[in-house]
C-alpha cells in the first residue's frame, strides 16, 4: 500500500486524510496478513500461490506471459475478478483474468490491442505460479533467467521489421518467424489493377 501511504503523507492536514488514516489503520493488519504472505510465496525458489491469493499476484498493469493457440505471448494483465457459484450446477469458484496483447493486423500493417480472458479454476493448496495459464513476467523471468523474455523480444523485433520493411521481403527465402525454424520461399505478386 505504498501509493496510499505516500498520499497520506502529502495530505496530512485535511479531514479526508484523517478519515483515510483511520481506514488504513483498520485495513493494514488484514492487508499485511494476506498480501505479504502471498508475496513471500511468490518470490521463493519454487514460486507458488494459493487460489485465494491470486488477486495479489495478478495486479492490473503487470507484464505477464500466456499461451494463445500454442504460442507464448507477452501480455498486460487488465483485471482479475473472482467468480462465485451462481447456481447449483456451478460448485467451484474461479478467477477471470483479463489480459491485453498487441495484435498485428496484416492487411493494413496496423498494430492494435486485443483483449482476452482466462479462467483459473479453483484448486486446493498451493500451485506453482509458472504452471498457471497466465504468469507474471517477473516471476517467470526469475525461474528461467529471462530466456522467454529474450525470445519474445526477438520475435517482436522481427515482426516489427516485417511490418516496417515489408517491401524488402517480397522475394524472401530463409527462416520463418516460427520456433521450429522452417524455411520458406515467398514470392508475392504485386498487382496494380
Domain coordinates in residue numbering, the chain: 1-42
Helix-strand-coil percent breakdown of the chain, rounded to 5?
40, 30, 30
Compute φ and ψ for 135, nearest 5 degrees. Answer: -135, 130
Nearest to 114 by CA among 130, 96, 102: 102
Q: Using one digit for the tens of pLDDT, what is the confidence trace for 99-136? A: 998 776 666 667 778 899 999 999 999 999 999 999 99
Nearest to 76 by CA among 57, 63, 95: 63
Quick one: what percent of the chain has pLDDT higher than 90?
Answer: 28
User: Where do we find the cell 491470486?
Assistant: 54
pTM: 0.68
Residue 193 has what pLDDT? 43
Q: Which of 7-16, 33-42, 137-146, 182-191 has the lowest mean pLDDT?
A: 182-191
Average pLDDT over the chain, rounded to an integer: 78
Task: Tell me the three cell numbers of residue 91.
Answer: 460448485
DSSP conformation class of 47: -
What distance in Å separates the CA atoms of residue 109 and residue 32, rounded to the nearest whole number? Answer: 47
What distance in Å separates the CA atoms of residue 21 and residue 14, rounded to the nearest whole number? Answer: 11
User: Where do we find the cell 494459493?
Assistant: 50
- pLDDT at position 178 over 60: no
Amino acid at each position: 500500500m505504498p501509493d496510499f501511504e505516500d498520499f497520506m503523507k502529502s495530505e496530512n492536514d485535511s479531514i479526508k486524510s484523517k478519515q483515510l488514516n483511520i481506514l488504513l489503520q483498520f485495513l493494514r493488519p488484514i492487508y499485511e496478513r494476506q498480501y505479504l504472505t502471498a508475496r513471500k510465496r511468490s518470490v521463493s525458489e519454487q514460486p507458488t500461490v494459493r487460489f485465494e491469493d491470486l488477486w495479489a499476484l495478478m495486479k492490473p498493469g503487470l507484464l505477464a506471459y500466456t499461451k494463445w493457440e500454442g504460442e507464448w505471448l507477452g501480455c498486460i494483465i487488465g483485471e482479475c475478478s473472482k467468480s462465485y457459484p451462481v447456481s447449483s450446477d456451478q460448485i467451484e469458484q474461479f478467477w477471470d483474468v483479463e489480459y491485453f496483447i498487441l495484435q498485428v493486423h496484416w492487411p493494413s500493417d496496423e498494430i492494435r490491442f486485443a483483449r482476452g480472458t482466462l479462467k483459473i479454476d479453483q484448486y486446493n493448496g498451493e500451485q506453482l505460479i509458472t504452471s498457471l495459464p497466465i504468469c507474471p513476467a517477473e516471476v517467470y523471468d526469475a525461474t528461467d533467467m529471462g530466456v522467454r523474455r529474450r525470445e519474445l523480444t526477438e520475435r517482436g523485433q522481427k515482426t516489427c521489421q516485417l511490418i516496417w520493411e515489408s517491401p524488402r521481403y517480397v522475394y524472401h527465402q530463409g527462416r520463418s518467424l516460427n520456433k521450429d525454424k522452417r524455411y520458406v520461399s515467398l514470392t508475392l505478386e504485386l498487382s496494380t489493377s
